[in-house]
Chain A
Amino acid sequence: MNSVLTIDSAIVDAIVAHARRDHPDEACGVVAGAIGSDLPTRHIAMDNAARSMTFYEFDSMEHLRVWREMDDSDEEPVVIYHSHTATEAYPSRTDVSFAGEPGAHYLLVSTREPDSEEIRSFRIVDGVVTEEKVNIVDATVDA
């Protein structure tokens, strides 16, 4: 298992823009990539069905549709992201309880500061949280 998330700056910018747009509600989404590549290439902003400042939840029908699209394209959810809008970018107990994609990088963005974002990434496997480095690179994809 890699201890680093390598992700294109254009995708990070799109995730941050999504989080800013939905602030003070939490924003959530996925970045798909080819199975086994560990490289996130396709950003998909998801609806937060909970529309809440302290919860997020994928809409179950959108979830099914997006997961099927990935399946059909031989992709998998390389990154699952959400924002915390008043607290740090660290997985809450709720986040850990729900984390059901052991192969994914769980990216958290905190938008509590108006001028800067905290962006951190974690593996969450069997309830164990392991922080990893985020390596932001330029121009691996057209986003």
Chain B
Amino acid sequence: MAIEVRVPTILRSYTGGSKIVEGAGDTLSGLLDDLDAKHSGLKGRLITPEGGLHRFVNIYVNDEDVRFLGALDAKLNDGDSITILPAVAGGALGFAAAAAFFGR
């Protein structure tokens, strides 16, 4: 089962510079495990040590934000297209407050 994954510039050091890689999995979690087996370390940039989606990235299945599709449990199908984008966020307040604010 092939799922296309579009990788942002900042994570291409894990994919040998490739902008698009292929993976497999029935869920986003499964796909990320598969990708990490081929591109070691990639998963750690997307998932927190506690096992949730990292707030620094947005992951989309086709045209939907995975946060609205069950996050790591989002179901995937052959031919789906995954897009990873670094979240664009910030602001004047200190990091601890922002972390609490952005915690999802």
Contact = CB atoms under 8 A, between A and B. Distances in A.
Contact of B88 (A86, A87, A97, A98): A98
A137 interface: no
B47 interface: no
A132 interface: no
A46 B88 CA distance: 11
A101 B9 CA distance: 7
A93 B95 contact: yes
Interface of B: 8-10, 56-58, 60, 63, 65, 67, 83, 85-95, 97-98, 101-102
A58 B89 contact: yes
Interface in A27-64: 28, 30, 46, 50, 52-58, 60-61, 63-64
B85 A56 contact: no
A55 B90 contact: yes
8 contacts: A26-B92, A50-B91, A55-B92, A55-B102, A60-B58, A86-B92, A98-B88, A100-B57
Interface SS of chain A: mixed
6 nearest CB pairs, A to B: A100-B86, A95-B90, A55-B91, A54-B93, A57-B89, A94-B98
B86 A94 contact: no
A24 B70 CA distance: 35
Contacts of B63: 64
Interface stretch (A3-11, A13-21, A77-85): A77-85
A60 B98 CA distance: 17
